[in-house]
């Protein structure tokens, strides 16, 4: 099993950002991927959707506070985008190449994850079986990201690294975690 810790950085902005820290760890054991995000800081300044009693697959979760990660197969242009809302909603998209051929990934019928929201922080943990989309022996490249929406409706983009002149989580050079 390979495990790595991470800390995300906001895309540079002239706007004042809430005082936040986003960190966590990611691990792969065969075809099982485990990722855990910890969001700490001044959570009163951001919009965190309340938990849903019936989490659903939903589109455009990135328009609100949303934890995301991107999984690519090494030496392949194909990749997947995983969106996880603190409300429990989720989606997975497959791409043939950079922002090309976006389709909902139907190999996943549900994606359950655990969210703990307390006054001093929020944690989100996911254990995902990837066997329906990749082989256990395939090397992966992963980008870890988060979208944060503040109380004023402004959106900030957080990632391990920002490789573009604009916030763009799809740039393959930003898939820096190797698993």
Convert the pLDDT of each residue in 142-153 to its tens digit. Answer: 999 999 999 999
Name the token pair of 10: 């906001």
Q: Are strands 140-149 and 177-178 parallel, antiparallel or unpaired?
A: antiparallel
> From CA 31, how far away is CA 90, in angstroms rounded?
20
Q: What is the mean pLDDT of residues 7-20?
A: 88
Question: Could you report the per-residue pLDDT of 26-71, keeping only the tens digit for each?
Answer: 999 999 999 999 999 999 999 999 999 999 999 999 999 999 999 9
Q: Which fold has domain 2-178?
A: Immunoglobulin-like (2.60.40)
What is the overall mean pLDDT for the chain?
Answer: 95
Q: How many Cβ atoms sit within 10 Å of the Cβ of residue 5?
A: 10
Between 117 and 98, the more confident residue is: 98
pTM of structure? 0.96
Angle 136-139-145 (CA atoms, 0-180°, nearest 5)? 105
- Cα dihedral 72/136/68/161 (nearest 10): -50
Distance between the two ends of the chain, CA-based, in angstroms? 9
């Amino acid at each position: 099993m390979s495990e790595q810790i991470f800390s995300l950085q906001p895309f540079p902005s002239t706007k004042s950002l809430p005082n936040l820290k986003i960190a966590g760890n990611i691990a792969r054991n065969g075809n099982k991927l485990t990722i855990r995000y910890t969001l700490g800081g001044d959570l009163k300044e951001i919009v965190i959707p309340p938990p849903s009693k019936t989490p659903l697959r939903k589109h455009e979760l990135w328009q609100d506070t949303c934890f995301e990660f991107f999984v690519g197969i090494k030496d392949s242009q194909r990749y997947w985008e995983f969106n996880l809302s603190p409300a429990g909603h989720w989606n997975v998209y497959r791409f043939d190449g950079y922002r090309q051929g976006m389709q909902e990934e139907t190999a996943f019928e549900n994606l359950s994850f655990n969210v703990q929201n307390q006054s001093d922080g929020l944690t989100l943990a996911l254990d995902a079986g990837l066997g329906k989309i990749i082989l256990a022996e395939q090397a992966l490249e992963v980008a870890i990201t988060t979208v944060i929406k503040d109380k004023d409706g402004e959106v900030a983009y957080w990632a391990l690294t920002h490789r573009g002149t604009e916030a763009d989580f799809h740039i393959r050079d930003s898939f820096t975690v190797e698993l």
